[in-house]
Amino acid sequence: MRSVFRDITDNFFEILSYKKEEWNKFWHIYKIKVPYVELYQKKNELSDEKILNKLFSYGRKYLDEMFWYKFENAEKVKTEIIKMVGKNVQKYNLQRGDYTVRIIGLTGDKPYEFVDTYAGTIILIDYLYFYKNKEKTTIKEIMDKAILDFIENNEVNEKKANFWITYDEIKKVVYDNKNKNIAMKKIVKILDKRFDYFDWTGFYLVENNELKLGEFIGEPTEHKKIKFGEGICGQAAETQKTFVVKDVNKESNYLSCSPKTKSEIVVPIFGKNNSIVGEIDIDSHKVNAFDDGDKEFLENIAILLKKYF
């Protein structure tokens, strides 16, 4: 089972190593390091300015005291939470696998917030809120409420959960394998197995300014080499953008691999110097099989593959 919760407040407490005049710089870096922060801001329509004013109103001394309080209690709280999660596997419906919890530093305005990522919902527990209310509540209590709120009010999103689990599985493959061809072979296998609407799953790699067929699972294709600009794959390579085609029969610039194919998604893979090095290509026998979730998921898989190029 995935670990359900993580404490990432350390990133917030880095604020204490900045001069007050540089807290805006801190916040800018914090948002890059912890992308949930930006999602939280968007959801609550909070500008950087509003947040900084809030932090200034707490002041350094208060945040410093909070740090030491956290430092002294962290281990105890962690043990308690692990115990609580272990006892409540069923109550928290952990097998649905579409959420995780992060303890984080935000603004102290609300106990928790849900933010959606390509990998599922993240339940953010704001340590600042807890600290302000520590006489009345505990992290455990806030977390319990937040999880129950989430599972009561959000239908299980199996598609999202599947993205999440598969992303983890592929991340591990990339981490464990130095050889890109072995990794890609494993990745097409995983994608093919996890998604029943992926009917042809493969890679094209850029070689001598054209696309060359790499590892794939599905019917053999005659398109072993594709020029930039030709077909969906060639257009994605030329424009360096993801192509989602709802109905291939309506496309004029399309190379057919199988009459059964109805829709297609092609996602470019960029190397470390940001030039295009290949593509993930997936065909489906269903019309309009790929939505924004698939696009985001596959674009994130492409980012994992940067390591090899």
Residues that bind ligand SME (CB under 6 A): 200, 221, 223, 226, 231-234, 254-255, 257, 264, 281, 283
Tokens of 132: 């302000």
Provide, rounded to whole angstroms, the least separation between the CB of residue 245 and ligand SME.
Answer: 8
The nearer residue to ligand SME, 98 or 281, going by C-beta atoms, is: 281
Q: What angle do CA 124, 129, 130 make, to 5 degrees?
A: 90
The nearer residue to ligand SME, 126 or 283, going by C-beta atoms, is: 283
Residue 151 burial (CB count, 10 A):
17
List the strands of the sheet with 276-284, edge to edge. Answer: 225-227, 210-217, 200-207, 276-284, 263-270, 243-245
The nearer residue to ligand SME, 139 or 233, going by C-beta atoms, is: 233
Provide, rounded to whole angstroms, the least separation between the CB of residue 255 and ligand SME.
Answer: 4
Rounded CA gap, 31 and 41, in Å?
10
The nearer residue to ligand SME, 113 or 230, going by C-beta atoms, is: 230
Give the phi and the psi of residue 116 in degrees, each rounded to 5. -95, 135
Provide, rounded to whole angstroms, the least separation between the CB of residue 243 and ligand SME.
Answer: 9
The nearer residue to ligand SME, 63 or 188, going by C-beta atoms, is: 188
Tokens of 154: 């959000």
Cβ-in-10-Å burial (0-12, 13-18, 19+) of 252 comes to: exposed
Tokens of 158: 């199996």
Torsion of CA 125, 128, 130, 135, to 10 degrees: 180
Residue nearest to ligand SME (CB): 231
Provide, rounded to whole angstroms, the least separation between the CB of residue 170 and ligand SME.
Answer: 20
Give the phi and the psi of residue 136 in degrees, each rounded to 5. -105, -20
The nearer residue to ligand SME, 157 or 263, going by C-beta atoms, is: 263
Provide, rounded to whole angstroms, the least separation between the CB of residue 244 and ligand SME.
Answer: 13
Residue 113's alpha-carbon distances to 63, 104, 203, 308, in angstroms, are 21, 11, 38, 36
Side chain identity, residue 26: F
Provide, rounded to whole angstroms, the least separation between the CB of residue 303 and ligand SME.
Answer: 22
Rounded CA gap, 195 and 172, in Å?
18
Cα–Cα nearest to 108, from 70, 153, 57, 47: 57
The nearer residue to ligand SME, 139 or 187, going by C-beta atoms, is: 187
The nearer residue to ligand SME, 83 or 227, going by C-beta atoms, is: 227
